[in-house]
Structure 1
Amino acid sequence: MEQKLKEFAKELFSIDAIKFGEYKTKVGLMTPVYCDLRVIVSYPKLMETLADLLIWKIQNVERYDLICGVPYTALPIATVVSIKTSIPMVMRRKEAKDYGTKKLIEGVFKPGDNCLIVEDVVTSGSSILETVKDLTGATLKCTDAIILLNREQGGEQFLKNNGIKMHALLSMTQLMQILHEAGCIDKATVQKVENYLATTKVDESVMKKSVPDNRLILSFEARAKLAKNPISEQLFKIMRCKQTTLCVAVDILNSTDLLNFAERVGPHICALKTHIDILEDFHPNLLQPLQEIAKSHNFLLFEDRKFADIGKTVEYQYSKGLYKISSWAPLVTVHSLMGRGVLDAIKTSEGLEKRGVFLLAEASAAGNLISDNYVKETIKMAEEYPELIAGVVCQNPLFLNNPGLIQLCPGVQMENKQDNLGQRYNSPLTVVLEKGADIAVVGRGITQSSDPACAAERYKKMLWDAYLQRIESSS
């Protein structure tokens, strides 16, 4: 196999996969040698040889249940290895698709499965770590990576520091020696590359910056420090302190019943979601005791108004009229349908000094008319108003690399089903581990229970256990 490896290295040179000159790497470093291994896909026999060499190299890896290639060059390489070894493969997307199942990790796997990473070239190791973060966010484990070429510029140590052992077929030094012995390059070229490697390493701080934080594997404590909206920061702290990600949707028609219900479920929730305009006996006197209950049990009041009008009308709906929402609800929901004027109105209206908005990107109602482009533009809008937007209402993990935002997912019940008005439900485990929810909204599963406090406590525990499972899978 050693001889086969040398022949393979010479073949890489012959197909112009190894280039000499002045090139720029992904992390911004200039280099006298560049490896463009994407051309290998046009040489089936060479691809087969590479797969055989990788399989030979990974004999020393103790255990792996799955294989995953780093997008995109390593995907066909991983595919051939998977076929030759009969080891199942999963595929990581660089971003979650906004149609169909909208998964970031495609394939069949179980929580806790160990996944072997396949990559072509490592300079900093950041591409591998990006893939590892998304895989661990999907409850998989990653401990080893097999690669074709180690550029010897700090990536191996960086990966080791992050719990990943790298197995390389070739180092840059070995590759240069093989090519020189074969008469492909002269001694001056070898010396130039050696001098470059000796003086040019990737700074670890640059490596860390190049790897985005995946919110699914970060703790709420860590994410609170990254939140730019004061209400989302407060929510993260409440969730961590009370160990709950439960928000109860309380569609109750009587004010006294609403207060009694809030008192009973208050110890188990991080937020109480209301539709204040459905109360048949609403009076402004209700608001003070409701706020006192929220303060007593350390949860936030969340008016699900779904503002969707021109800015001036929204300003009045938010801060004027009978309900004066801005005076008592630190959290509200907004449709992005009417554009940025709605957010500007919320931002500048009178009322509570600290306020947060949840933008509605996806809905749990069957047959809704929300399009893929609408979802994209909503996420974009959320990122344009970091000091106002607390999070996004959605059914899928749409913004993995913005850990300061909170994903709120409605339509949660212990038994998956659909009501006769088109509301679709997810189980607590599904909504956290598969859908990416940070906060789960439960309505009738608690409000219609004979013992709402007991039901809330059950949901609280199930959701929190799922959250722990999600973040612990990355450790």
Structure 2
Amino acid sequence: MVAVTGQDRLAQDFVEFAVRSGVLRFGEFKTKAGRLSPYFFNAGLFDDGEKLGRLAQFYAQRILGSGIEFDMLFGPAYKGIPLAAAVAIELARLGRNVPYAYNRKEAKDHGEGGSLVGAPVQGRVLIVDDVMSAGTAARESIALIEAAGARPHAVAIALDRQEKATENGQDVPWSAVQYVRDKLQLQVCAIAKLDDLLQYLATRGSELGAHHAKVLAYRERYGAG
């Protein structure tokens, strides 16, 4: 059995939680890039109070452990909205009370109006999302945050797929996370990475361990980061 270090324990616990919750599944799934992936992560299936609360605990622990400085949270519509709210609640429970905001897909022309909802967007903003596929959502969030006069500072995600992004239908040698770090100059912290999933599968019995070879082959073919 592979030993798991203290630094990896949070990631291993998260992967196990995601598998047990049916959020992380194995088989054959077509990605947005048209690749056939042997695994699929659907954060939308953290779909009850208990699972969302546990997910928020993982985010909060990773964020606080990362040392990233931030003044508020921002949740990109739509999946980022409940994530930012849940993480704000958990951070407050841990003694780190920060405001949060999110955006609408379509701006309102009545009431308070605009596309931003929640606390005023200001200071160093930490964007909370589920995964990064191409960095598109991050770019959209950055534009909204900068337009509000705030500073997009970092991104927290659940899973870093560590695979090559695509541009104009072609593979590029960097991942979406690497693009956000290197090109957009934002810090990124992920609860777990594909490498953590591989380590998890390597320590399982035959039922889950059988997926290790397929996931490893996928990593070798499309991996980045």
- Normalising by the smaller structure, the TM-score range is 0.7 to 0.9
Please say if 1:186 is aligned against 2:209: yes
- Tell me by how many angstroms 1:67 deviates: 0.4
CA–CA distance in 2 between the matches of 1:129 and 1:109?
Answer: 20
Does the Cα contact within 8 Å between 1:144 and 1:164 map onto a contact in 2?
A: yes
1:63 equivalent in structure 2? 69
1:89 equivalent in structure 2? 100
CA–CA distance in 1 between the matches of 2:35 and 2:107?
Answer: 29
Change over 3 Å in CA distance of 1:119–1:31 after alignment to 2: same
Please say if 1:175 is aligned against 2:185: no
2:166 equivalent in structure 1? none
Q: How does 1:60-459 map to 2 (within 5 A)?
A: 60-85=66-91, 86-109=97-120, 111=122, 113-153=123-163, 154-160=175-181, 161-183=183-205, 185-187=208-210, 189-200=211-222
CA–CA distance in 1 between the matches of 2:32 and 2:110?
Answer: 29
- Tell me by how many angstroms 1:169 deviates: 1.1
- Tell me by how many angstroms 1:115 deviates: 0.9
Deviations 1:219-249 (A, max 9, x none): xxxxxxxxxxxxxxxxxxxxxxxxxxxxxxx
Deviations 1:253-284 (A, max 9, x none): xxxxxxxxxxxxxxxxxxxxxxxxxxxxxxxx
CA–CA distance in 1 between the matches of 2:125 and 2:11?
Answer: 25
CA–CA distance in 1 between the matches of 2:121 and 2:109?
Answer: 23
TM-score, normalised to structure 2's length? 0.78
Does the Cα contact within 8 Å between 1:105 and 1:138 map onto a contact in 2?
A: no
Structure with more relative contact order (C-alpha pairs < 8 Å, separation 6 or more)? 2
Does the Cα contact within 8 Å between 1:8 and 1:49 map onto a contact in 2?
A: no
Does the Cα contact within 8 Å between 2:62 and 2:191 map onto a contact in 1?
A: yes
Look up the equivalent residue of 1:18 and give its one-letter code.
L
CA–CA distance in 2 between the matches of 1:142 and 1:198?
Answer: 32
CA–CA distance in 1 between the matches of 2:115 and 2:108?
Answer: 7
Change over 3 Å in CA distance of 1:95–1:29 after alignment to 2: farther
Deviations 1:384-419 (A, max 9, x none): xxxxxxxxxxxxxxxxxxxxxxxxxxxxxxxxxxxx
SS of residue in 2 equivalent to 1:94: strand
Look up the equivalent residue of 2:100 and give its one-letter code.
M
SS of residue in 1 equivalent to 2:26: strand
2:59 equivalent in structure 1? 54
Look up the equivalent residue of 2:12 and give its one-letter code.
K
- Tell me by how many angstroms 1:158 deviates: 0.7
- Tell me by how many angstroms 1:71 deviates: 2.2
SS of residue in 2 equivalent to 1:20: strand
Question: More strand by proportion, 1 or 2?
Answer: 2
Change over 3 Å in CA distance of 1:98–1:147 after alignment to 2: same
Q: Tell which structure's C-alpha radius of gyration is larger.
A: 1
1:440 equivalent in structure 2? none
Look up the equivalent residue of 1:142 and give its one-letter code.
P
Change over 3 Å in CA distance of 1:131–1:40 after alignment to 2: same
Does the Cα contact within 8 Å between 1:117 and 1:146 map onto a contact in 2?
A: yes
Percent sequence identity is: 24
CA–CA distance in 1 between the matches of 2:105 and 2:223?
Answer: 26
CA–CA distance in 1 between the matches of 2:110 and 2:27?
Answer: 42
Change over 3 Å in CA distance of 1:132–1:91 after alignment to 2: same
SS of residue in 2 equivalent to 1:121: coil
Does the Cα contact within 8 Å between 1:122 and 1:147 map onto a contact in 2?
A: yes
- Tell me by how many angstroms 1:40 deviates: 0.6
Does the Cα contact within 8 Å between 1:69 and 1:78 map onto a contact in 2?
A: yes
